[in-house]
Homo-oligomer: A and B are copies of this chain.
């Protein structure tokens, strides 16, 4: 029996997992990321998590460690070039550092690609040759599996599914592009739309639910569930915009299956009818039979995917 360790390095949370070859979880740990302590503090946290999740097995039975990280990195050298929301992470040779500390092979990968890999090997995409995982939360990211392999492209930077323009004359995205799927359809975009409507004086339950704090996606979903008209309009548009981006992915990559994850998809019951009607109206017929469903790995898709980087 051989095991693999996965680490999901996020700006707010750090997750670790020990899985076997079937993706079954033997140990799981989650902690708040000590982001302000810089790379050395966070790496010490990772080190500790590795020891915790692997305590029950012989180290020689562990094949390696996979780490999913946000932001640009060099997947070949395992150097994290920059990690958004993590203080001081510039050109950190994470692979080299962890290999020295643990004496295990370490693979560092983009977190969205890792999640796609996890969902493909152990979740919704199991057995598919052509599969896409999309996460819709603060931003929109994902990974593409084509012909049984992760689509990497030149320099390993393909599959930035959130950064395709779907509104040529739309708002400016954080990436510098205009009208990206992310800047019009992420959870952040949904909240921004609500905030703007409320500032224009539109009456809505959203204000009550947010209770004076900044509007978040789930406030809008909760108001929509209670019949609020503005919130329902916003959720309808959100579902449609998710659908528009998915149609593009169907036409461009022809996946057999797409799995959706991330915070916004927790309100799928509200979004789904609109998302699906856009796909039914807009996708060309041969693409209509692609299966589109929620991640079957849930919140653990990222950390299981990180482990899958080793396999």
Contacts and interface: CB of A to CB of B under 8 A. Distances in A.
Interface of A: 72, 128-130, 146-147, 149, 151-161, 163-169, 175-179, 184, 241, 244, 247-248, 251-256, 281-284, 286-287, 290
B284 A154 contact: no
A140 to B, nearest CB: 12
Contact of A153 (B130, B153, B161, B241): B130
A184 B168 CA distance: 10
Oligomer: number of copies = 2
Contacts of A146: 146, 151, 153, 158
Which residue, of A154, A157, A163, A290, has the highest number of chain B Cβ atoms within 10 A? Answer: A154
Minimum-distance CB pairs A-B, first 4:
A153-B254, A158-B254, A154-B256, A160-B251
Contact of A175 (B149, B167, B284): B284
Contacts of A159: 252, 254
B282 A176 contact: yes
B177 A282 contact: yes
A179 B245 CA distance: 12
A177 B243 CA distance: 11
B176 A281 contact: yes
A160 B252 contact: yes
A157 B285 CA distance: 11
Contact of A164 (B169, B252, B256): B252
22 contacts: A72-B286, A129-B154, A152-B254, A153-B255, A154-B254, A155-B254, A155-B286, A157-B287, A158-B252, A158-B253, A158-B254, A159-B252, A163-B251, A163-B284, A165-B166, A165-B282, A166-B168, A167-B169, A168-B241, A168-B244, A176-B283, A177-B247
Contacts of A241: 168
A75 to B, nearest CB: 13
A187 to B, nearest CB: 18
A153 B165 CA distance: 22
Contacts of A129: 154
A275 to B, nearest CB: 14
Contacts of A244: 165, 168, 178
A76 to B, nearest CB: 14
A161 B252 contact: yes
Nearest to A180: B251
A7 to B, nearest CB: 24
A158 to B, nearest CB: 4
